[in-house]
């Protein structure tokens, strides 16, 4: 399942993301709010972290706060907007300070590692459609951080845009692959390696001509050793190295 975000009223979403709701309107009557947007977002993240995206329902979030699903609608226009807020809150965990080093390679590597780890801490973020037109402050801050890290590389604007896109998507994609490997292991209760072994056997039965159809893939696979999770980490490292080499080449 993939979950759409940003399909709701984009204006409401933007306002909430940028904290317009934080200003407590004065001179209001009625009972004191027992909840807050922040609390709801936190509850949503707690549910998604613990039970996964599939279990994230308005009911579940409300229940965690001791309310019904409908109580949330006082604070949040709908589920799509809640997802937007959750997304940005998760990315807010990323460090925002100036890069710790002048070496841009090192700085970008650190940035990528932080983003990768953040995604793995909150795998459900990877299931929020990346096709989100709603930009939150944390997401923009992360981009600003990347730009700051990349600054010493001195890229021209056009190339800089390409580098940012390539780096971001690469980290996101690799994190998704890693998160999935973990999820598969968790769901089946089977160790990563065994699961893939079983899958390979099954595949060999169904496609006995595998090696002939995909010779290069077969050859590449045969050179891989160690557990799959380590494989992802290695792909992360070497893919990032390629990207950085490319950035360096085009200065």
Residues in contact with DNA by the rule CB under 7 A: 8, 25, 27-35, 55-60, 62, 66-71, 73-75, 78-80
120 binds, among a copy of itself, DNA, none (CB under 5 to 8 A by kind): none
Whole-number minimum distance, CB 7 to DNA, in Å?
A: 8
Give start and end residues of each alpha helix (H) in 65-191: 79-91, 104-121, 137-150, 157-188
| Separation between Cα atoms, residue 140 and residue 53, nearest integer Å | 24
Whole-number minimum distance, CB 236 to a copy of itself, in Å?
A: 8
Whole-number minimum distance, CB 78 to a copy of itself, in Å?
A: 12
121 binds, among DNA, a copy of itself, none (CB under 5 to 8 A by kind): none
Helix axes 137-150, 157-188, angle to 10 degrees: 120
- Nearer residue to DNA within complex by CB, 89 or 232: 89
68 binds, among DNA, a copy of itself, none (CB under 5 to 8 A by kind): DNA
Chain length of the chain? 251
Whole-number minimum distance, CB 61 to DNA, in Å?
A: 8
> 171: which 2 tokens?
């980290």
> 186: which 2 tokens?
């968790």
Whole-number minimum distance, CB 12 to DNA, in Å?
A: 12
Q: Please, which residues have CB within 8 angstroms of residue 43's CB and are 6 or more apart in sequence?
A: 61, 64, 65
- Nearer residue to a copy of itself within complex by CB, 34 or 180: 180
- Nearer residue to DNA within complex by CB, 32 or 158: 32
Which residue, 66, 116, 125, 67, is CA-closest to 94?
A: 116
Cα→Cα distances 185→52, 125, 182, 221, 227, Å: 14, 19, 5, 20, 12
- Nearer residue to DNA within complex by CB, 48 or 108: 48
- Nearer residue to a copy of itself within complex by CB, 50 or 219: 219
Whole-number minimum distance, CB 155 to a copy of itself, in Å?
A: 9
> 119: which 2 tokens?
């995604």
- Nearer residue to DNA within complex by CB, 59 or 199: 59
Q: Residue 128 phi/psi, 5° resolution?
A: -75, 125
The tally of CA atoms less than 13 A away on the side-chain side of residue 200 is 10
Return the DSSP state at 67.
Answer: S
220 binds, among a copy of itself, DNA, none (CB under 5 to 8 A by kind): a copy of itself
132 binds, among DNA, a copy of itself, none (CB under 5 to 8 A by kind): a copy of itself
């Amino acid at each position: 399942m993939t979950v759409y975000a940003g399909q709701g009223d984009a204006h409401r979403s933007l306002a909430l993301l940028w904290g317009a709701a934080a200003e407590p309107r004065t001179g209001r009557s009625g009972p004191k709010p027992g909840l807050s947007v922040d609390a709801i977002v936190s509850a949503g993240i707690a549910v998604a972290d613990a039970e996964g995206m599939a279990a994230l329902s308005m009911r579940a979030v409300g229940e965690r706060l001791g309310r019904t699903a409908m109580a949330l609608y006082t604070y949040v226009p709908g589920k799509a907007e809640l997802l937007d807020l959750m997304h940005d809150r998760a990315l807010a965990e990323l460090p925002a300070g100036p890069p710790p080093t002048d070496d841009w390679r090192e700085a970008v590597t650190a940035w990528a590692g932080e983003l990768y780890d953040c995604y793995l801490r909150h795998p459900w973020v990877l299931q929020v459609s990346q096709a989100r037109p709603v930009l939150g402050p944390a997401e923009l801050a992360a981009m600003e951080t990347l730009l700051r890290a990349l600054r010493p590389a001195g890229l021209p604007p056009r190339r800089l845009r390409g580098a940012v896109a390539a780096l971001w998507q690469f980290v996101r994609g690799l994190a998704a692959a890693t998160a999935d490997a973990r999820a598969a292991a968790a769901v089946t209760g089977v160790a990563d390696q065994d699961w893939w072994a079983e899958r390979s056997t099954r595949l060999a039965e169904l496609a006995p001509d595998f090696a002939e159809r995909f010779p290069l893939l077969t050859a590449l696979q045969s050179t891989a050793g160690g557990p799959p999770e380590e494989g992802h980490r290695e792909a992360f490292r070497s893919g990032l190295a390629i990207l950085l080499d490319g950035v360096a080449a085009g200065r």
